Structure 1
Amino acid sequence: MFLQTIEEEDATGKVAGIYEKQRAQVGFVMEAAKCFTARPDLLPIYTEFSDRLRAGFSLGLREWRLITLIAAKHIPSTYCSHVYGKQLIEDLGSKEAVLAVQRDFRTAGLSDKDVAMLAYAEKVARDAPHITGIDIERLRRVGFSDQQICDIALCASFRCFVSRFFDAMGAGTEAVFIDEDVEFRSAMSVGRPL
């Protein structure tokens, strides 16, 4: 971490509570959470926003992870690519399937609906000013509601913000998310080197 943040043993109040909750959920406190403690008043706000965004997400966890992987590739965010790439292995059934999506989701054997969702997420991450009504109509044609389209945009945009913030703060990818497979590790390292 480039800036001073609150370590677990020094956490008090709301920060300590958030750290404890994360330890209970994932077994440790992620660098992503620690980043926000350079401004400790923001960690509770970030956590509440993130929790509400995910709790109200109208698509599934698999879709959240797919959108995040594609957005992370284009930010580019090594941290988020590793975290979500690792989580997608179970969702998609294999590392090879995750690699195929990360390389080119259009040819990875996904459904037309998944491809449309990821094409929109990619455009949000890479070129949001050029999104038009035509992009929205494509999503509606494959069955997405306006709320779901909003959620795709929120998920991809949220990833752009937090991934850039994590890199700016110097957050490092935790060892648990770094795969031993060299090809997979290399493919997920899209930005800052490990």
Structure 2
Amino acid sequence: MIVNPPSVDDASGHAADMYQEDLRDDGFVYAHTRVMAINPEAHQAFEALIGAIQPSIGVRTYELVTLAAARGIPSPHCLLAHGRKTLRADVLDEDELEQVALDYRTAQLSDADVAVMRFAEKVSTDAAAMTDADSQELRDSGFTDRQIVDIALAAAARNYLSRALRALAVPVDEVPGLSPRLVAALLSPVGR
């Protein structure tokens, strides 16, 4: 990595808070946290955006959007981190998450969940080809105008962060709490 993040000892303000959260949760500071600590104001703005999006769609839909968008990029950082967040939030259990990671279309998800994931994946893979038909599928699944906008914003926000990490060649850290089988499923090319 060519950029030089602040050290744990030199970090202050929000950057220090970011480091302390990783240290408290996992005992080390992730490479992606270190890079974002170079511009902690941007990280705070990203967190504020997610905070404005998530309430209307809920944790489950937000995490499904994030996983699908991250798979479309692909972003190993976000697939692993949000795989773990999905487990910790009891959105899915490990077996369900493995099936979703391998291919959400054949996992035991509701039609609405599949529509959300298909939409988010397309934002990451071919946003220029999206039409009203893509949003209509969400509408037909029962989502409101606000939720449709927030699903699009959640997928776009994942692209913002994931693509920045990829552009900066940020190393992918091992994420504690994920079985080797689940890591393999999350990072597999199957279902893309």
TM-score (norm. length: structure 2): 0.83
1:72 maps to which residue?
A: 70
Q: Which runs of 5+ in 1 are unaligned?
A: none
8 Å CA contact 1:68–1:156 kept in 2: the answer is: yes
Which residue of the partner structure matches residue 61 of structure 2?
Answer: 63
What SS does the corresponding residue of 1:98 show, helix, strand or coil? helix
Cα deviation, residue 158, structure 1: 1.2
Q: Distance in 2 between matches of 1:103 and 1:31?
A: 26
Partner of 1:175, secondary structure, is coil
Structure 2 counterpart of 1:11? 11
Alignment CA distance shift 1:93-1:74 (3 Å):
closer
Which amino acid in 1 is paired with 2:185? A
Q: Is the 8 A contact 1:73 1:81 kept in 2?
A: yes
Query: Counterpart in 1 of 2:40?
Result: 43
CA drift at 1:93: 4.2
Quote the residue 1:88 is aligned against. Answer: 86
| Count of aligned residue pairs for this structure pair | 186
Residue 104 of structure 2 aligns to a residue whose secondary structure is helix
SS in 2 for 1:102: helix
Distance in 2, Cα, partners of 1:96 & 1:2: 38
Taking only aligned residues, the RMSD between alpha carbons, in angstroms, comes to 2.4
Structure 1 residues 189 and 142 mapped into 2: Cα distance closer, same or farther (>3 Å)?
closer
Given the superposition, is the C-alpha separation of residues 8 and 55 from structure 1 closer, same or farther in structure 2, using an over 3 Å criterion? same
Distance 1:25 1:148, change over 3 A: farther
Percent identical: 33
Task: Report the Cα offset of residue 14 of structure 1.
Answer: 4.4
- Aligned to 2:57, the other structure's residue is in SS state coil
Q: How far apart are residue 188 of structure 1 and its match?
A: 2.1
Structure 2 vs 1, CA of residues 96 and 2 (structure 1 numbering), >3 Å: closer, same or farther? Answer: farther
Match in the other structure for 1:187: 185
Summarize deviations over 1:23-63 as a string: whole Å, max 9, x none.
556665432221134xx3x321x222222222222111222
CA deviations 1:136-190 (Å, max 9, x no partner) are: 1221111111111111111111111211211232333333347342x32222225
What CA deviation, in whole Å up to 9, does each residue of 1:59-115 have, x standing for no partner?
A: 112222111111111111111111111222353443221121122212211111111
1:74–1:126 contact (8 Å) kept in structure 2? yes
CA distance in 1, matches of 2:164, 2:78: 11
Q: Which moved more, 1:7-16 or 1:70-79?
A: 7-16
What's the counterpart of residue 33 of structure 1? Answer: 33
User: SS of the counterpart of 2:175?
Assistant: helix
The equivalent of 1:156 in structure 2 is: 155
Contact 1:81 1:190 in 2 (8 A): no
Partner of 1:110: 109
Shift of 1:127: 0.8
